[in-house]
Structure 1
Amino acid sequence: MKNKNIIITGASQGIGKSIAEKFHKKGSNIFMISRNENNLSKLKNKLMKNTKNNQVIEYFAENIDNYNKILDIVNSINKNHNSIDVLINNAGITSDNLIVKMKDEQWDEVINTNLKGTFNCCKAVSKFMIKQKFGKIINISSIIGQIGNKGQVNYSASKAGIFGITKSLSKELGSRNINVNAINPGYIETEMTKNLSKEKKVDFLSKIPLNRFGKANEVSELTYFLASDLANYISGQTINIDGGMVV
């Protein structure tokens, strides 16, 4: 993946941060998108300390629910660096509540970021990947999109929708040598799971055959594999990485 141009959304923390670090270590040019400019700046400074051979690290503090802003970013990257090799749609948020208490704003915010944001980024890069006749799109979904979870009807719906995007785009874009796949992380040790109560953690662990939470770097390793030439014949798939929780 050396010198490849990689766009990563939600790169400021957690799984996205680990993905950015993995691709940077392998010599890729990294283009990070997130709403958290402070975290993006810190990550860029950290990565710059180990940057070699004119490796590019750029970030864009934007919300992915705005298509025109995403298109401007993608146009700029393609104009300045001549290709977009991999898009990793990792950005995601939660706003939990039981359905009888969930406000319209909670539904809209999660759907607009997780689902519409994924659509926006896929749409923005597709025309360039079609023209160059290659590319990889990797969508980070969640096992919650498969099994559901009480109090997360918005999050579950948004992540389930990503399965549909992945399957449909793999059929639309496959003839242009573009691979589209999804990854379903289970319970991964990130900032998002740190706030779980002790009782919930015990409950979740009881459902995981490997009896532990996953690590962000385990997800980034799978992401890297799907982006590499080793996965050139894999497309339209959703791969669980959940310690055996969903079988």
Structure 2
Amino acid sequence: MTELNQATVLITGASGGFGQQFTRQLLKAGSHLILTDLDAEKLEEQVAALETEIKTGKVIACWGIDLSTENGCQTLYDRAQELNLPIDILINNAGIAIYGRMDEVPSQKWETLMQINLLTPMRLSSLFIADMIARKQGHIVNISSLAGHIAPAGLAHYAASKFGLRGFTEGLFNEVKRYNIKVTGVYPFFSRTPLLQAERYGTLAYEITRVADETATDPEQVIAKVIQGIKNNQLHIFPDRRAKVFSLLKQYIPSLVNWRLNQVKPKNE
């Protein structure tokens, strides 16, 4: 079991939909949190509101850091080192999405996506893992997506980043398990977070409707399942029914998944 009470937990993307739920629920569990996102002021406002409501746990630091670059990741690691606190759990939650046909999305946009969604978790894991190995204790959590198993039209770049993160998670698990380091990959269905309002480009931008609000999952319920999986040291967490069903169908009946994806037709066909 991974202990959450008084554990030092670093969360990236802490002001987003999942990030806010991680903050809320881990504070209730008694964790000590280091939070980071692009907008430090927004993050501090959210934390101030939570701290008036939740008296367990505590927020050690809130930092506004751009993690899309190698320098940003190094800055986060250096600041964490200055606190002189071992990081018990690193939650690589920061992520962005874009929607559009592969050749119609500006290259700067999808390259930034790949930096944040894939390279940032890899960079931060490589920075923090040495300390965990030395202590023979620690847990790294990578928030992937059902899109790490299935790649619908319009999400080629996003799926590539999440497929890559799934592979990295499995490889990391096999490399560090001998040192008692736990690794977890999380694969949720589309949830009611700001990612559903991702930028859209080109031909597909208005031809395929967004995920319906009633179809998308509840972030609070998703993160509750994720936290339980972290406590149980699960390697793979499918925190909602749709993600689990689609992943099993993709594994055992891939033709059915392909058929279902093909039912989503552009409006002019």
Letter in 2 for 1:240: F
Counterpart Cα distance in 2 of 1:54 and 1:102 = 42
| The structure with more radius of gyration | 2
Question: d(CA) in 1 for partners of 2:55 and 2:81?
Answer: 21
Structure 1 residue aligned with 2:222, among 219, 223, 229?
Answer: 219
Check conservation: 2:191, 2:219, Cα contact below 8 A.
yes
- Structure 2 CA distance for partners of 1:86 and 1:62, relative to 1, 3 Å: same
Across the aligned residues of Structure 1 and Structure 2, the Cα RMSD in angstroms comes to 2.4
Distance in 2 (CA, whole Å) between partners of 1:201 and 1:56 is 34
Corresponding position of 2:34 = 31
Query: Aligned partners of 2:58, 2:239: CA distance in 1, in Å?
Result: 30
Is contact 1:11-1:90 (8 Å) kept? yes
1:16 Cα offset (Å):
1.2
Contact kept, 8 Å, 1:166 with 1:180, in 2: the verdict is: yes
Task: Using structure 2 for the length normalisation, give the TM-score.
Answer: 0.79
What does 1:71-150 align with in structure 2 at a 5 Å threshold? 71-150=74-153
The answer on 1:59 being equivalent to 2:62 is yes
1:238 pairs, out of 232, 236, 239, with 236
The runs of 4+ residues in structure 1 deviating greater than 6 Å are 195-198
How big is the shift at 1:50?
A: 4.0
Which of 154, 167, 177 is the equivalent residue of 1:164? 167
Q: What is the one-letter code of the residue matched to 2:172?
A: L
Q: Amino acid of the residue matched to residue 66 of structure 1?
A: T
Task: Report how far residue 52 of structure 1 moved.
Answer: 4.2
Q: For each residue in 1:25-55, what CA deviation from the matched residue of structure 2 results, as whole angstroms up to 9, or x when unmatched?
A: 1111111111122321211211332464783
TM-score by length of 1: 0.85
Indicate the SS of the match to 1:46. helix
Letter in 1 for 2:67: I
Q: Which runs of 5+ in 1 are unaligned?
A: 206-211
Cα deviation for residue 216 of structure 1 reads 0.7
Change (3 A) 1:53 1:10: closer
Equivalent residue number for residue 256 of structure 2: none
Q: Tell me if structure 2 keeps the 8 A contact 1:13–1:39.
A: no
Aligned to 1:208: none
Question: Aligned equivalents of 1:82 and 1:243: distance in 2?
Answer: 37
Q: Percent identity?
A: 25
Structure 2: how far apart are the matches of 1:43 and 1:182? 26
Contact 1:44 1:58 in 2 (8 A): no
Tell me the alpha carbon deviations over residues 93-125 of structure 1, each in whole angstroms, 9 at most, x when there is no partner.
112221221222122111011001111111121
Q: What secondary structure does 2:98 align onto?
A: coil
SS at match of 1:87: strand
| TM-superposed deviation, 1:185 | 0.8
Work out whether 1:186 is the aligned partner of 2:189. Answer: yes
- One-letter amino acid of the counterpart of residue 29, structure 2: K
- Superposed displacement of residue 163, structure 1: 0.6
Q: Shift of residue 192 of structure 1?
A: 2.3
Q: Kindly indicate whether the alpha-carbon contact (under 8 Å) linking 1:138 and 1:223 is maintained by their aligned counterparts in 2.
A: no
SS in structure 2 of the partner of residue 49 of structure 1: helix
SS at 1:213 equivalent: coil
Post-superposition shift, 1:199?
Answer: 4.5
**Number of aligned pairs?**
235
More displaced 10-residue stretch of structure 1: 44-53 or 129-138: 44-53
CA distance in structure 1 between the aligned counterparts of 2:47 and 2:186, rounded to whole angstroms: 25
